[in-house]
C-alpha cells in the first residue's frame, strides 16, 4: 500500500482517509488483509494505537472487518456507508485525561460517598461479575461504576468533566475500540478485579488506596491499548 506521511492533526482520521481512498479506488480489494498494525505505524510514522483508531473508524464506516489476533480485512466498497466518525474523540486521548482525573475522584469519593452510592456500587459489581462470568462486558456497567464515584466526589466541576469524558466514551468509535479491547477473557477478568479493588478501597474510606487502585486500573487499560492485536 502506498501511503503518505500525515500531519499532527486528527491523525486517525487522516490515516483512515488514505486507506478509505485506496479501498474505494480498488487499489485494495475486498477480502484482502491490510498490512500489520506495526507495518502501518512504521510506514506512516505514527503510534500503533493511532493506527488502531483509524482501522476501527474504517470498521465503523463499514469498510473493514477487524479480527482481533488476526488483522484487518477489507469488506470493499458497496452499499455500506463510507462516512468516517470524524467528530469522535480519540479513545487513547480520552483515556489519558481519565488517568489525570479519575484517581483523585476516587480518593474524594472514599471520603464522601453516601449509603445510596455504596449500594449502587455493590449492585454494579454484581452485574459486572455476572457479565464477566458469561463472557460479556458492557460500557453501561463500566460507566455506572465510574460515574457513581464521580457523583460522590463532592466537586461539581470535576463531576461534569468526568461526565463529558464518559459521553465521549459513548461514541461508536470508542465503544468499538473497547469492545475489541475486552474480547479476551483475561482482560475482562483483570478489569473486574480492578473494579473490585477500587470499590473496596472507596467503601473502606481509604483515600490513598482508592487513588492507587484507580490509577493502577487506568494504567492497565492504557497498557492494553498499546498491546498489539496481531
Note the pTM of the prediction, 2 decimals: 0.85
Q: Is residue 22 part of a domain?
A: yes
Q: Regarding predicted confidence, which is higher, 58 or 69?
A: 58
Q: Is 154 left (phi over 0), alpha (psi -120 to 50) or beta?
A: left
Q: Is residue 3 part of a domain?
A: no
CATH of residue 65's domain is 1.10.10.10
Both 136 and 28 in a single domain? Answer: no
pLDDT mean over 36-57: 91
120-140 confidence digits (pLDDT tens): 999 999 999 999 999 998 889
CATH of residue 174's domain is 1.20.120.530
Both 128 and 169 in a single domain? Answer: yes
d(CA 126, CA 42): 43
Range ranked top by mean pLDDT from 21-25, 31-35, 84-88: 31-35
**Host domain of residue 59:** 11-74
Whole-number pLDDT of residue 79: 46
Q: DSSP letter at 113?
A: -
66-69: long-range contacts at Cβ-Cβ below 8 A with a sequence spacing of 24 or more?
A: 66/180, 66/229, 68/180, 68/183, 68/184, 68/229, 69/229, 69/230
Both 132 and 199 in a single domain? Answer: yes
Both 107 and 152 in a single domain? Answer: yes
Both 56 and 101 in a single domain? Answer: no
Both 141 and 170 in a single domain? Answer: yes
163-189 confidence digits (pLDDT tens): 999 999 888 888 888 888 888 878 999
Q: Is residue 34 part of a domain?
A: yes
Q: Is residue 84 part of a domain?
A: no
Both 22 and 108 in a single domain? Answer: no
Q: Is residue 86 part of a domain?
A: no
Amino acid at each position: 500500500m502506498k501511503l503518505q506521511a500525515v500531519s499532527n492533526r486528527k491523525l486517525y482520521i487522516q490515516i483512515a482517509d488514505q486507506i478509505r481512498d485506496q479501498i474505494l479506488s480498488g487499489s485494495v480489494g475486498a477480502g484482502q488483509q491490510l498490512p500489520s498494525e506495526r507495518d502501518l505505524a512504521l510506514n506512516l510514522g505514527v503510534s500503533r494505537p493511532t493506527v488502531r483508531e483509524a482501522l476501527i473508524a474504517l470498521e465503523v464506516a463499514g469498510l473493514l472487518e477487524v479480527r482481533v489476533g488476526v488483522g484487518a480485512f477489507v469488506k470493499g466498497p458497496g452499499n455500506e456507508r463510507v462516512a468516517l466518525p470524524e467528530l469522535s474523540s480519540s479513545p487513547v486521548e480520552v483515556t489519558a485525561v481519565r488517568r489525570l482525573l479519575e484517581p483523585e475522584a476516587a480518593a474524594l469519593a472514599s471520603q464522601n460517598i453516601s449509603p445510596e452510592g455504596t449500594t449502587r456500587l455493590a449492585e454494579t459489581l454484581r452485574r459486572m461479575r455476572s457479565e464477566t462470568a458469561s463472557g460479556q462486558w458492557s460500557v453501561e456497567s463500566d460507566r455506572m461504576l465510574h460515574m457513581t464515584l464521580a457523583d460522590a466526589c463532592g466537586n461539581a466541576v470535576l463531576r461534569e468533566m468526568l461526565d463529558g469524558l464518559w459521553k465521549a466514551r459513548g461514541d461508536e468509535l470508542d465503544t468499538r475500540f473497547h469492545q475489541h479491547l475486552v474480547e479476551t477473557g483475561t482482560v475482562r477478568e483483570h478489569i473486574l478485579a480492578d473494579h473490585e479493588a477500587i470499590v473496596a478501597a472507596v467503601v473502606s474510606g481509604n483515600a490513598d488506596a482508592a487513588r492507587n487502585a484507580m490509577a493502577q486500573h487506568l494504567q492497565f487499560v492504557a497498557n492494553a491499548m498499546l498491546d498489539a492485536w496481531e
